[in-house]
A = this chain, B = another copy of it.
Amino acid sequence: MAALRVGTRAVEGRFQASNGGGGGGGGMAPSSRLVAAHREAKPRSSHSAAPWKLPRRRAGAMPLWRVAVFASVALNVATLALLLHHYATSPPPHHHHHDAGLATRSSDAAVHRRARTASSMAPSTGKPAVTTDSVINLDHGDPTMFEEFWRETGDAAEVVIPGWQTMSYFSDVTNVCWFLEPELDRQVRRLHRVVGNAAVDGYHVLVGTGSTQLFMAALYALAPDAAAAAAGEPISVVSTAPYYSSYPAVTDFLRSGLFRWAGDADAFKGDSYIELVCSPNNPDGAIREAVLDPKTGNGRTVHDLAYYWPQYTPITKRASHDIMLFTVSKSTGHAGTRIGWALVKDRAIARKMTKFVELNTIGVSKDSQMRAAKVLAAVSDGYERRPEQTKETMTTPLRLFDFGRRKMVERWSMLRAAAAASGIFSLPEETSGFCNFTKETAATNPAFAWLRCDREDVEDCAGFLRGHKILTRSGAQFGADARYVRVSMLDRDDAFDIFINRLSSLK
């Protein structure tokens, strides 16, 4: 149970990768070395109406028409002053210097944005901004790269939630997943139809607090029921290495009697198991299929398709597995919203997964569900409003996958150049395929780089990079060699650029 102990002891102020072992992989506790005295200044200009006077003409009785003009214009000015007051809150600064194409719409969008955010309170801004001397934390897949896109979408992706809205526990008492907002159900199905990455007809849509909660829900639903488990052993949970470091941590942290982590699927012997298939795979981006055959014995599979979106990989077929997991964290970049969803074929499994979420958190934030629905709708709108998809329209700012792909292509090209310049790193080979969504051949551009340090004297690549103030997650946490590290490709431009510069200089 070394894995579990590690998982429970990660504390703030310690770098995750230094935990060692395979089990601390879900670790998100930020490093104290990243903590800068950075608080974004939030200027609040105090607009007031400019003093206004009618031109002075002559003293004496004022004719009725002049009174009318005065009253009317005064009204306009008052209205204007009121509006100006609403526009007084300004958003945090932009982070897009790579891509100038988006700037054209920004002034319009900014006006809208400011008009609507006046009543907001100060939200957090994520990790502190970085400078060339900063420790760069690419340990987590924090998808802040996408902020740049969403800053330009104005009202299209904005939600307004009045105080009395969605106060009930219940969303739809007729649905298996009774806490699922019907609007999110609709937008999830719509987006999958637009992209063509997963079948939705005949599936139940379930919502979770991120896909992590639905991963646990799936284990709970697929494990033999409690009575059977009491008699026998917990069911084995396996995944082909390198596997997502959270899988062992999340499976084992409560020492459940229902399921237990059993490591690499390739090495598994037995006929009762749950196989986790992550495709494209976290950490290495590989396209995966189940390696165990569920037709023999009591095997079940869960497909984690968090990265099966056009910005990361060509969409080569419409997936139609029994249980498929998705999340807004990686599809749209809204990690802070904590919304994942599952597409589930079997009604009894869907019910049991729903029961898990009920017992664990009594449902899922409706505020975030409404926000996710709005965001997914904005993505679909980008492609459905104009049915013709030609290269000429590919630069439309509201097209998320176009933005994402452009960024990922650019970043992978920078990374490969940096690795080549350095000479001591290697990366997975680029693969490509025909994308049914974009209707053209595209390369895979994974959300993480699975980087290998080839220098003979470096056995701990994460430690080596940490020495150069680059935080990554060690291959050891993914059931692989410590010469590998996983590097997030989804951080903001400034952090990514510094990372690239540092990497290329390492010899």
CA distance A352 to B160 in the complex (A): 35
Contacts of A128 in B (CB 8 A): 173
Contact status of A5 and B336, CB under 8 A, knowing A157-B163, A367-B368: no
- Please tell me if the beta carbons of B213 and A26 are within 8 angstroms of each other in the complex: no
Return the contact of A337 from the options B119, B246, B365 (Cβ within 8 A): B365
Within the complex, what minimum Cβ distance (angstroms) separates A102 from chain B?
Answer: 12
Binary flags per residue of A5-32, CB closer than 8 Å to B gives 1, else 0: 1011011100000000000001111110
- Please tell me if the beta carbons of B5 and A361 are within 8 angstroms of each other in the complex: no
Contact status of A229 and B255, CB under 8 A, knowing A166-B123, A183-B123: yes
Most chain B CB atoms below 10 A, which of A128, A147, A165, A329? A165
Q: Which of A385-419 contact B (CB under 8 A)?
A: none
Task: Judge whether A254 is part of the interface by a CB distance below 8 angstroms.
Answer: yes
Task: Judge whether A202 is part of the interface by a CB distance below 8 angstroms.
Answer: no
CA distance A118 to B166 in the complex (A): 16
Most chain B CB atoms below 10 A, which of A5, A119, A122, A157? A119
Which of A220-228, A435-443, A453-461, A463-471 touches B?
A: A220-228
- Please tell me if the beta carbons of A5 and B144 are within 8 angstroms of each other in the complex: no
- Please tell me if the beta carbons of A142 and B170 are within 8 angstroms of each other in the complex: yes
- Please tell me if the beta carbons of B355 and A7 are within 8 angstroms of each other in the complex: yes
Contact status of A127 and B362, CB under 8 A, knowing A167-B333, A178-B30: no
Contacts of A28 in B (CB 8 A): 169-170, 178-179, 358, 362-363
Contact status of A120 and B69, CB under 8 A, knowing A355-B8, A371-B367: no
- Please tell me if the beta carbons of B253 and A359 are within 8 angstroms of each other in the complex: yes
Task: Give the number of times this chain occurs in the complex, counting copies.
Answer: 2
Return the contact of A163 from the options B26, B156, B166, B178 (Cβ within 8 A): B156
Within the complex, what minimum Cβ distance (angstroms) separates A448 from chain B?
Answer: 15
- Please tell me if the beta carbons of A361 and B209 are within 8 angstroms of each other in the complex: yes
- Please tell me if the beta carbons of B167 and A146 are within 8 angstroms of each other in the complex: yes
CA distance A125 to B351 in the complex (A): 22
Closest to A137 in B: B173
Q: Which of A200-246 contact B (CB under 8 A)?
A: 209-210, 212-213, 216, 220, 225-227, 229-230, 246
- Please tell me if the beta carbons of B163 and A151 are within 8 angstroms of each other in the complex: yes
CA distance A127 to B171 in the complex (A): 7
Task: Judge whether A473 is part of the interface by a CB distance below 8 angstroms.
Answer: no
- Please tell me if the beta carbons of A167 and B150 are within 8 angstroms of each other in the complex: yes
Which of A191-199, A262-270, A307-315, A373-381 touches B?
A: A373-381
Closest to A147 in B: B164
Given contacts A144-B167, A163-B374, 18 further A-B contacts (CB under 8 A): A7-B355, A7-B359, A8-B226, A10-B355, A28-B358, A28-B362, A31-B173, A35-B173, A65-B66, A119-B158, A120-B159, A124-B172, A127-B173, A150-B164, A157-B164, A158-B162, A210-B362, A335-B362
Give me the 9 closest cross-chain CB pairs, A-B, nearest first. A126-B168, A157-B163, A255-B257, A30-B173, A72-B72, A150-B163, A150-B164, A365-B365, A336-B366
